[in-house]
């Protein structure tokens, strides 16, 4: 296990960070705001009117995996259960049997290649389903959409694997807005891009660990077993992304629980045998610790229960989060508040969750670089 002292030296050495990052993950994460702006322009050029001009569909199906599936989950959480259009997420290559001419399929993938991307596009065209493609410029999916005269958001080949969430989400937000499913203010990509830029300035490699929230979290996770508690459906979608990035980039397993519906499980884990326990000495020499200790990571959404599309469970998300936090205090489980939205209460929900996701992405990359897992 890498010591915190050695990890901090790595994180505060820009040259060493660059040497350990051959795939360019750190600049890709830092450029998330620019990625949103560029993709918004590419979406405009794609001509979504060929799909939205037919009016509101019966159903919207997003064919995607990993980052694309997270993007679809964020969209579905923003729409909420009161959405007039059903939103489903499927991995492909098969489309749901019920899809027909009154539905829309979005095929979202960074590469735009492989049967999980191409097969659904051709199948949708055969059934008369309207298609929107998102993928690399000149990819097989691009050709499939061109053959069906369907809009295609052609992403530049500079997009980096594991850092394309906003390239896949931005066209979905524009599609939902043009279909009248989202209010323009709820999916304002300019506001989201500005929020991502602010996080990049605060979490960039030039900022030292003691004033950099993403580096601080990465150091906290060095000897931790993360347990992610998410307040409501939108934060729950974000938690899926955080856990996946920690596992994929840094090899760190993380469990995640959406509150309030997974409150019981979250409490069982935080209060279970892996917690430090009441007798834990806060001032002990932690170099004597063996293995990893639980660390609770919280993702908050102040509007989870107050936007007219609230959870229907007996205990609301905020109450469930308070219960989990009390239990963490009782069991001496340390807590990291991920991108706490203080000072940004006037921002749309999407911009606030974007801040949390950006801090998490930076932290996962920093942790991976500290552990030197990206050389191959």
Tell me, yes or no, whether 363 and 237 share the same domain. Answer: yes
> Which of the listed residues 168, 185, 202 is the one where a domain comes to its end?
185
Q: What is the structure's pLDDT at 100?
A: 96
Listed residue (254, 372, 367, 358) closest to 28, CA to CA: 358
Hey, what are 307's tokens? 């936007």
Are 210 and 329 part of one and the same domain?
A: yes
Q: What is the Cα–Cα distance from 320 to 310, expressed in whole angstroms?
A: 14
Boundary residue ending a domain (137, 162, 185): 185
Residue 307: closest CA among 91, 40, 80: 80
Beta bridge pairs of residue 231: 259
Are residues 135 and 257 both part of a single domain? no
* Number of other residues whose CB lies within 10 A of the CB of residue 23: 16
Kindly state whether residue 376 falls inside one of the protein's structural domains. no
What pLDDT is stored for residue 311 in this prediction?
A: 45
CATH code of the domain containing 281? 3.40.50.10490
Where are any strands of DSSP class E within 22-120?
59-63, 86-90, 104-108
For residue 141, being part of any structural domain is answered with yes
What is the rounded CA–CA span in Å between residue 143 and residue 213?
43
* 54 upstream amide cis, omega within 30 of 0: no
Nearest to 173 by CA among 184, 159, 160: 184
Judge whether 216 lies within some domain.
yes
What is the distance between the alpha carbons of residues 188 and 113, in angstroms, rounded to a whole number? Answer: 29
One domain, residues 83 and 169: yes
CB 341 within 8 A of CB 300: yes
The answer to whether residue 99 is domain-embedded is yes
Q: What is the pLDDT along the chain (376 residues), one digit of tens a residue?
A: 677 788 899 999 999 999 999 999 999 999 999 999 999 999 999 999 999 999 999 999 999 999 999 999 999 999 999 899 999 999 999 999 999 999 999 999 999 999 999 999 999 999 999 999 999 999 999 999 999 999 999 999 999 999 999 999 999 999 999 999 999 999 999 999 999 999 999 999 999 999 999 999 999 999 999 999 999 999 999 999 999 999 999 999 999 999 999 999 999 999 999 887 654 554 555 455 557 899 999 999 988 864 444 444 446 899 999 999 999 999 999 999 987 655 566 789 999 999 999 999 999 999 999 999 886 5
Contact 157, 140 (CB under 8 A): no
Number of domains in the chain: 2
Q: Are residues 198 and 167 in the same domain?
A: no
Residue 91, domain member (yes or no):
yes
Q: Is 180 found in the same domain as 38?
A: yes
pLDDT of amino acid 342: 57
- Is the same domain home to 256 and 306? yes
Do 12 and 45 have their domain in common? no
For the beta sheet containing 104-108, the strands, ordered from the edge strand earlier in sequence to the opposite edge, are: 86-90, 59-63, 104-108, 130-136, 152-155
Same domain, 209 and 290: yes
Supply the range of the domain harboring residue 154: 31-185
Residues 283, 174 share a domain: no
| Residue 86 domain-assigned (yes or no) | yes
247 and 359 share one domain: yes
Residues 6+ apart with CB under 8 A from 50: 130, 149, 150, 151
- The answer to whether residues 177 and 295 belong to one domain is no
Pick the last residue of a domain from 156, 185, 214.
Answer: 185
State the pLDDT at residue 309.
47
pTM above 0.75, yes or no: yes
Evaluate whether residue 10 is within a structural domain.
Answer: yes
Instruction: Give the pLDDT of residue 315.
Output: 64
């Amino acid at each position: 296990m890498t010591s915190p002292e050695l990890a901090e030296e790595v994180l505060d050495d820009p040259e060493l960070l660059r040497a350990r990052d051959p795939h360019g993950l750190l600049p890709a994460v830092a450029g998330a705001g620019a990625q949103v702006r560029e993709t918004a322009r590419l979406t405009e050029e794609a001509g979504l009117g060929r799909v939205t001009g037919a009016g509101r569909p019966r159903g919207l199906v997003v064919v995607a995996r990993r980052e694309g599936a997270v993007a679809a989950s964020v969209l579905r959480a923003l729409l909420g259960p009161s959405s007039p259009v059903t939103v489903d997420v499927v991995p492909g290559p098969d489309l749901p049997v019920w899809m027909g001419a009154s539905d829309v399929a979005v095929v979202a993938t960074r590469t735009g290649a492989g049967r999980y991307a191409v097969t659904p596009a051709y199948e949708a065209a055969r059934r008369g389903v309207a298609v929107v493609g998102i993928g690399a410029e000149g990819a097989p999916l691009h050709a499939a959409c061109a053959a069906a005269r369907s809009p295609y958001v052609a992403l530049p080949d500079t997009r980096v694997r594991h850092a394309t969430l906003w390239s896949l989400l931005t066209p979905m937000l524009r599609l939902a807005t043009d279909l009248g499913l989202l209010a323009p203010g709820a999916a304002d990509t300019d506001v989201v891009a500005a929020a991502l830029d602010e996080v990049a300035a605060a979490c960039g490699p030039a900022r030292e660990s003691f004033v950099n929230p993403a580096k601080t979290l990465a150091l906290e996770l060095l000897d931790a077993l993360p347990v992610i508690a998410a307040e409501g459906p939108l934060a729950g979608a974000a938690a899926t992304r955080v856990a996946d990035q920690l596992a994929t980039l840094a090899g760190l397993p993380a469990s995640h629980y959406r509150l309030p519906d997974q409150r019981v499980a979250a409490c069982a884990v935080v209060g279970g045998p892996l917690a430090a326990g009441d007798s834990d000495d806060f001032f002990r020499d932690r170099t004597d610790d063996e293995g990893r200790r639980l660390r609770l990571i919280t993702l908050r959404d102040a509007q989870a229960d107050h936007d007219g599309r609230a959870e229907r469970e007996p205990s609301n998300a905020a109450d469930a989060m308070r219960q989990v936090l009390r239990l963490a205090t009782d069991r001496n489980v340390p807590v990291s508040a991920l991108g706490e939205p203080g000072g940004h209460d006037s921002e749309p929900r999407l911009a606030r969750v974007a801040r949390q996701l950006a801090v998490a992405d930076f932290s996962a990359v920093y942790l991976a670089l500290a552990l030197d897992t990206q050389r191959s």
